[in-house]
Structure 1
Amino acid sequence: MATLLSSGLNAFAQSGVPAPVEPLKTHDPVVVKAMEASEGHVKMPGGVAISPDGKWLAYTVGRASATLHLMELANPDPAKDKIVGPNGDTSCSNADPVWSPDGQWLAYTSSCTGSSDKPGQEQVFLWSKATGASKQLTHLSGLFHQVAWAPDGKTLAFLFVENATRSAGATAAMKPWSGVIGEDGIEVQRVAAVDVATGELKQVTPEKLHVFEFDWAQNSSEMTYIAAPPPGENNWWVADLYTQTLGQDPKAIVDTTKVTGALHGLQMAVPRFSPDGKKIAFIGGLMSDQGSTGGDIWVVEAKGGEPVDVKPGIDGTPAYLAWVDNGKVGFVEDRRGKVRIPDYDVKTKTEVPGSALEMSEVSITGGSIKDAISVSKNGVFAFVKSGLTAPPEVWAGPETAIKQVTHLNDGATLAGGKTESIEWTNEGFHVQGWLTYPANYDPAKKYPMIVSVHGGPSASIGPRWNVMANYSLAGYFVFQPNPRGSFGQGEKFTEANRKDFGYGDLRDILAGMDVVEKKVSVDPKREGLTGWSYGGFMTMFGVTQTTRFRAAVAGAGISDWLSYYGENSIDQWMTPFFGATVYDDTAVYAKSSALTFIKKVKTPTLIIVGDRDGECPAPQSFEFWHALRAEGVKTQLVIYPNEGHHFADPAHEKDRDERMLTWFQKEMPAE
């Protein structure tokens, strides 16, 4: 083990500019055709913001170079949208709209800043409803997001990393290792506030705290936020809930290591002040990634005290919340692939009768926080909705009359086969997943199937447009399960794989495969396994536990939890799942490590990773590749330069996807 680890680390300790990935030497015609046919050309709406009076809708189209639209909801004609940009400039990116409390100003971010700022540096602009003109408010150097108006409309605040060299998130490419590790070059994300009248900028929160999310109190002089000492990539899992009066020191009001009951030792997200400022609601639960939010709704007195779970025992997973009034909280809930938006009475801990908006087999979003929606003061909703048979569009209106208001993708057709929800039971658990059919499916024929396991593990796969269309077009079934450990089926289900990684969740997946095989024409001799992050671990571990899979592709996986503990940049996430550090209980880590069972592997496995991945570092992939090669198992390792856990280079993404499909086509071809 030590030799493997040493060789792996040495391989990634080299200095200099990494060489580019050489392209594939041969291109399988089936793969090329499927890749070309599956390339999405749909327009992607996002950044939805409804005005306080519910009359105007702001939304963006596109991602890398977003266009900001304004629509009058009384006459939702996209052809009449106003296009917003500094001096009418839409050549750059204009995004992240947020209305002022009085609805007279729209704040947005723009990279169209001219020569006065460094190229590409985004700034905050204000668009005036009265004049239709924009003015630049900030002159920042660094990265910022989650812009929010103070309720009095005099101040804008946002999360800000001054002079940032990289994104503050753990999924972005890490800095190359150099200097005094853990001390040099630490970048801290704080709440900064800018005076709307003067443009004066102040750092609001202390330098000793890295802030992940925040919210204003109605009095505009207090904030609540989730924060921890830096480095931010690692310490979200041990973050506390704070309140702070501006100009004074913060006060920690919830430390989950000290509370009793179900919240003990877990994570918190989406803090929100009640309208009267007396309470704070937040989502608390077992979460494996900051930003992948899920748990129960908890409420605590703003002055501190024991948090109360106001919705214990439901079998869904809230991901986003907002106060309806001082006694009710509304939230967006994932429930086995369905979306619910109910209101809960915080005193009686019951759902308000008739309050729930329910949508089947769709996904919604609308902002920088997962599953965020926008709601006006008079109850007009706005969000982006997409689903198994519908491409993404903006929907808006009162709760009882929400309708589609954009038509960006009229005429878009599914590239691959149909997708349907599959449900089954295993060992007392009710499990759900998604099955995508091969394009032009003929039940008289047998087809190969690829099982794709999501990351997390605290996450879920929801209903999506054009699900893995390249695999479907190439003639494969695709099965995407949400096994125990996933969101969408209550906290007990999410917590069911603690200290059991790779065992119960794998049995859930295999049981789901049995159900699929009985339902459709799957060739059991041509089944493959793949996944990224936790799905990459499940792939590496899965092929040590069964020979059922003919081929595997492990993306950004984890092969040895023991060495991983000391290699990654986010080790704080592991204790809630394993129950102890690796130094206190090596056995619980070893039992779920693929290298413990490496001699059982027979499955040809492709391994893919970014060289600057801090969540699942490249040495983990190197160790698995090294071991398979030593055991005579067919394998290949591909490392992409300057990539983190999430790839940023579109060329790398395309090359990765082609290599994955090519691997399956070679080992278990579709006929």
Structure 2
Amino acid sequence: MKNITAVRVSPDGKKVAYSVREAIMTPDRSEYINQIFLSHADGSNKMQLTKGDKNNDNPKWSPDGQWIAFASNRDGKNNLYLLPVNGGESEKLTDVKTSISNYEWSHDGKMIAYTMNDSISGTEERNKKSKNDWYFMDEDVKQGRLFVLWLNDRDSADKRKTKQITKENRHIISIDWSPDNNWIAYEHAKTSRVNDMVYSNISLVNLATGNAKEIAATGAGEHDPQFSPDGKYIAYIASEDPVVWGGNQYINIYTVANGKKWLLPTTPNEGGSIMGWSNDGKYIYVLEPAKTLQSIYRLSVDGKEMTEWSKGVNDFLTSPSLNHSGSHIGFIQQNSTTPAEGYISTISEYKPFRITNINNDIAKLPVAKTEVVRWKGNGGMDIEGLLTYPLKYEKGKKYPLILNVHGGPAGVFGQNFIAGNSGSYPIAAFAEKGIFVLRPNPRGSTGYGVKFRLANQRDWGGEDYNDLMAGVDHVIKTGMVDSNRMGVMGWSYGGFMSSWIVGHTDRFKAASIGAPVVDLAAQNMTDDISGFLPSYMKKEPWEDWEVYNAHSPLRFVQNVKTPVLLQHGEADIRVPFSQGVMFYNALKRRGVPVRFLALPRQPHGPAEPRMALKVMQTNLAWFDHYLNGAAKSF
């Protein structure tokens, strides 16, 4: 199966560049690569622009629509390339030693700004070869720097002029040009560590002088600055001050001339991301989760108007991108029974038009029904989730059920295609095996507003657990489920909850647990997001050992009887591999049936296609055995 990864409409709205990802699995390779395609806006005249066995992605149109820039690792490092739309070979623009992370065209099309991480020094390379490569933790951190490349200016070596713009020792994240091409607004963090990027600030740098000034530098996390079309304002996202993980995300407007700021009204989920400005500068477009879907809202800059631009959408909309003129939007759209494809729409009205057909053959295959189900949690709180039926469901029969818990905890299950090739759990394959799959969005999930999203603070494994059990009970009451044949699975926070569940009930016959947080204090001391758990628990571990212990699944491992399949990436720094090892060793020493699928090189989830396939196959076989009585094949 292939995946659309970006849909970018040309400035005049007449053409579309899009990227398609597919898995490469040969005897010596296992990786995903993208290729870039071009079509007319009506989907005709499709043409593949890039080929080969290397990755080519992130296409972006020049403001005049004559060129497409893109990133590629065809020479070993992720560099920028330029391709003429009307025909011709691509040209390599940069030759960096590390990798280009992000880039943006200037509005006059004469420059490209990009961010690049520091390279390893000659001394560091020599020390590595001589095995003298010790280091002090958190010192000499490699930062992402801001550079500008002039397309029409060359130096004495006939290479395009390139200059590092920022002087400060900051890690640059997102960037945006001013309409007059004299300034760049950029988001920056103290270091490149993931935790520091949550607490980022925003600055403006002058292209000519390199002088920078901070325009948003509070205790909040300030992100994603975007200039208005006339250059008078900058819109950006700011968290609460101080930062609350999972908390409010506010749309701020900054006045360039005098520094005046104001907030726009909060969107329903109170946690959206900025897509861009309308071409007249009067509105901001914002994307955010909306229960099991996603919605785009249009907010007037004067704060008086907020409308749901995508109102009435019944499909799952992702990765929206406004074109340079603000006339069109490109996006990816799918639903539970229809694979994802690329779409475009005029910005004046939501009228999705499909421009790709990469998964037509898959779309013809039968796919199990998925429906939204709702129930009441404690305190009368409304909870909902997605219930996928067995493919050949027959009324009056009872079937096994798997409870699938999402990550986050501020994640959400959306109505995406259930036979997709992402994630670790093959929902459609479970349905083909005659198994119901319930995917709840308990309190703590996003898509339902900030009060709901923060309802599990200092309560992991409390009311969120009760919401999940209430959902299982709700489905059992329909008479469709055999309560003696149930399983539970989840990854990350879902792994935490699955570990918690098997320590608090024996109602599930088998569990699949991926990258679980089982010891909250140890997790906080070893992960890459040190502010995360103290925000949710409202205390550092040493300030309240009791709450960290009370909500750690490892403290209840003595209760576990359920057979457990563990999976964890050895390179996981979000939930360190040791968390899975602790749970595995405790279960093994207690004599609980347990297997541990260790995934070399993998981060917080399988990132290579063979590893993803192995995880899916193992999960399918595990539950087929324990819920359907199939012979062991794992």
TM-score (norm 1): 0.81
Cα 1:652–1:190 change in 2 (3 A) is same
The reply on whether 1:461 has 2:413 as its aligned counterpart is: yes
C-alpha deviation, 1:351, in angstroms: 1.0
Cα 1:405–1:271 change in 2 (3 A) is same
Q: Which of these residues, 38, 49, 60, is aligned with residue 70 of structure 1?
A: 38
Q: 1:256-655 to 2 correspondence within 5 Å?
A: 256-257=218-219, 267-285=221-239, 295-302=249-256, 308-312=262-266, 314-315=268-269, 317-324=271-278, 325-352=280-307, 356-365=309-318, 371-377=319-325, 379-399=327-347, 400=349, 401-411=351-361, 412-414=363-365, 416-426=367-377, 427-467=379-419, 468-519=427-478, 521-655=480-614
Cα 1:329–1:601 change in 2 (3 A) is same
Q: 1:151-300 to 2 correspondence within 5 Å?
A: 151-163=107-119, 179-183=134-138, 186-197=141-152, 198=154, 199-206=160-167, 208-246=169-207, 247-257=209-219, 267-285=221-239, 295-300=249-254
Listed one character per residue, the Cα deviations across residues 406-438 of structure 1 (whole Å, up to 9, x for unaligned) are 222224235541111223332343322211111
Cα 1:157–1:670 change in 2 (3 A) is farther
Cα 1:179–1:91 change in 2 (3 A) is closer
Cα 1:67–1:219 change in 2 (3 A) is same
SS of 2:385 mapped into structure 1: strand
Listed one character per residue, the Cα deviations across residues 288-334 of structure 1 (whole Å, up to 9, x for unaligned) are x9999984433344579786442336246423431224332111232
Task: Report which structure shows greater RCO (CA 8 Å, sep ≥6).
Answer: 1
Amino acid at match of 1:389: T
Amino acid at match of 1:424: W
Q: Distance in 1 between matches of 2:132 and 2:546?
A: 30
SS of 1:597 mapped into structure 2: helix
Q: Which of these residues, 48, 51, 54, is aligned with residue 83 of structure 1?
A: 48
SS of 2:196 mapped into structure 1: helix
Unaligned runs of 5+ in 1: 1-40, 113-118, 166-175, 258-264, 366-370
Listed one character per residue, the Cα deviations across residues 452-488 of structure 1 (whole Å, up to 9, x for unaligned) are 1111112222111134112112221111112122111
Q: Distance in 1 between matches of 2:569 and 2:165?
A: 35
C-alpha deviation, 1:665, in angstroms: 2.7
Q: Distance in 1 between matches of 2:479 and 2:102?
A: 45
Cα 1:635–1:93 change in 2 (3 A) is closer
Contact kept, 8 Å, 1:449 with 1:528, in 2: the verdict is yes
The reply on whether 1:107 has 2:69 as its aligned counterpart is: yes
Contact kept, 8 Å, 1:416 with 1:470, in 2: the verdict is no
C-alpha deviation, 1:522, in angstroms: 1.0
Cα 1:425–1:273 change in 2 (3 A) is farther
Contact kept, 8 Å, 1:243 with 1:302, in 2: the verdict is no
C-alpha deviation, 1:552, in angstroms: 1.1
Q: Distance in 2 between matches of 1:493 and 1:415?
A: 36
RMSD: 3.0
SS of 1:485 mapped into structure 2: coil
Q: Which of these residues, 134, 137, 144, is aligned with residue 90 of structure 2?
A: 134
Name the counterpart of 1:19: none
Q: Distance in 2 between matches of 1:303 and 1:598?
A: 60
Q: Distance in 2 between matches of 1:293 and 1:273?
A: 25
Cα 1:284–1:342 change in 2 (3 A) is same
Contact kept, 8 Å, 2:244 with 2:535, in 1: the verdict is no
Amino acid at match of 1:343: R
Amino acid at match of 1:627: A
Contact kept, 8 Å, 1:317 with 1:489, in 2: the verdict is no
Amino acid at match of 2:370: T
Listed one character per residue, the Cα deviations across residues 597-625 of structure 1 (whole Å, up to 9, x for unaligned) are 22222222221111121000111111112
Which protein is richer in strand relative to its size?
A: 2
Amino acid at match of 2:487: G
Listed one character per residue, the Cα deviations across residues 78-104 of structure 1 (whole Å, up to 9, x for unaligned) are xx223324xxx5454332110111222
Larger displacement relative to structure 2 (577-586 or 240-249): 240-249
C-alpha deviation, 1:344, in angstroms: 0.9
Contact kept, 8 Å, 2:400 with 2:485, in 1: the verdict is yes
Amino acid at match of 1:453: V
C-alpha deviation, 1:178, in angstroms: 7.3
Cα 1:660–1:360 change in 2 (3 A) is same
Q: Distance in 1 between matches of 2:375 and 2:38?
A: 45
Q: Distance in 2 between matches of 1:374 and 1:560?
A: 43
Q: Distance in 2 between matches of 1:465 and 1:299?
A: 36
C-alpha deviation, 1:132, in angstroms: 4.2
SS of 2:115 mapped into structure 1: strand
Amino acid at match of 1:200: K
Listed one character per residue, the Cα deviations across residues 640-663 of structure 1 (whole Å, up to 9, x for unaligned) are 222211323322222222222222
Listed one character per residue, the Cα deviations across residues 244-265 of structure 1 (whole Å, up to 9, x for unaligned) are 33343433333442xxxxxxx5
SS of 2:498 mapped into structure 1: helix
Listed one character per residue, the Cα deviations across residues 380-422 of structure 1 (whole Å, up to 9, x for unaligned) are 2221211112212111232434311222222423554111122
Cα 1:190–1:457 change in 2 (3 A) is farther
Amino acid at match of 2:342: V
TM-score (norm 2): 0.86
Q: Distance in 2 between matches of 1:440 and 1:653?
A: 26
C-alpha deviation, 1:542, in angstroms: 2.0
Q: Distance in 2 between matches of 1:350 and 1:139?
A: 47
Cα 1:481–1:314 change in 2 (3 A) is same
Q: How many equivalent residue pairs? A: 592
C-alpha deviation, 1:51, in angstroms: 1.0
Cα 1:49–1:251 change in 2 (3 A) is same
Cα 1:486–1:271 change in 2 (3 A) is farther
C-alpha deviation, 1:573, in angstroms: 2.5
Q: Distance in 2 between matches of 1:476 and 1:350?
A: 46
Cα 1:290–1:396 change in 2 (3 A) is farther
Contact kept, 8 Å, 1:317 with 1:335, in 2: the verdict is no
